[in-house]
Structure 1
């Protein structure tokens, strides 16, 4: 059996993980909440547990939880006999994150294509925007296939 990390090692990991998420565009407090929930043995935590674990205020937890609920990265539930909300990290949260990013690639592609039409396909700007749109379309298609493949191999 592997040794359990100390509370300090766990906290350092959560902050390092949150930093990686924050560098990729996830709001910092939301990234910290995700990190804490990810290493929670049950995958669920109350707002008070999150605040204590992360040494942040209840309003900071509330804002982060609200953002994560809005994008369906976590869910809210009540455990039998409890009057407190418990937040659960979504099982496929990382596939969900990449799915949302992939939707953005589709938007970037369509916006780039409309720009290429606006400036004219034979202009320098039009060619640049067409290349961008083609790139986004290529990545979007591959990412879509990868996410579908992952879900096929790892059904919920």
Structure 2
């Protein structure tokens, strides 16, 4: 359901819909929409705003939602890496389990470093002039 809600918001011209509009568009219950937008807001993909002059909430896709969601993964990757490091300290680096944990820890540290460079390259690509006009 979160994917359907996210796509519904992406394809609407305004990029924003109320919960009732989402439920009607997707032909689902308001409870299903509520759970989906709660999940999407936790991932920082969607934001909840108050409709001007109304008490109704509207939901919209955040600007740079993809980039922010990926960048926010750094904390999760750091948590994984730290957990594996703790495991290594418990079982020892030279044990079979320690070697597996060390490899996992190093993998997540590698991802963290690569993610920074990847985001920099994406911004440069996004902002680069295009042959058919300025960047979007």
**Is the shorter-chain TM-score for this pair beyond 0.5, marking a shared fold?**
yes
Alpha-carbon distance in structure 2 between the residues aligned to 1:110 and 1:73: 26
Q: Distance in 2 between matches of 1:124 and 1:69?
A: 40
SS in 2 for 1:50: helix
- SS at 1:106's partner residue? helix
Specify the SS of the correspondent of 1:72: coil
Q: Which has the higher contact order (CA 8 A, sep 6+)?
A: 2
What is the Cα deviation at residue 93 of structure 1? Answer: 1.1
Q: Which residue of 2 aligns with 1:118?
A: 90
Cα distance in 1 for partners of 2:55, 2:85 equals 51
Give the whole-Å Cα distance in 1 for the aligned partners of 2:107 and 2:57.
Answer: 43
| Aligned position for 1:139 | 111
Unaligned runs of 5+ in 1: 1-28
Q: What displacement does 1:106 show?
A: 1.6
Gaps of 5+ in 2: 128-136
Per-residue deviation, 1:143: 0.9
Can you list the C-alpha shifts for 1:39-95, whole angstroms capped at 9, x where unaligned?
111100111110011110011111211222233221122333344211111011111
**How many residue pairs align between the two structures?**
127
2:4 to 22, 32, 37: 32
Match of residue 17 from structure 1: none
Q: What TM-score results when the alignment is normalised by the length of structure 1?
A: 0.72
How far, CA to CA, are the matches of 2:93 and 2:42 in structure 1?
39
The structural deviation recorded for 1:145 is 2.0
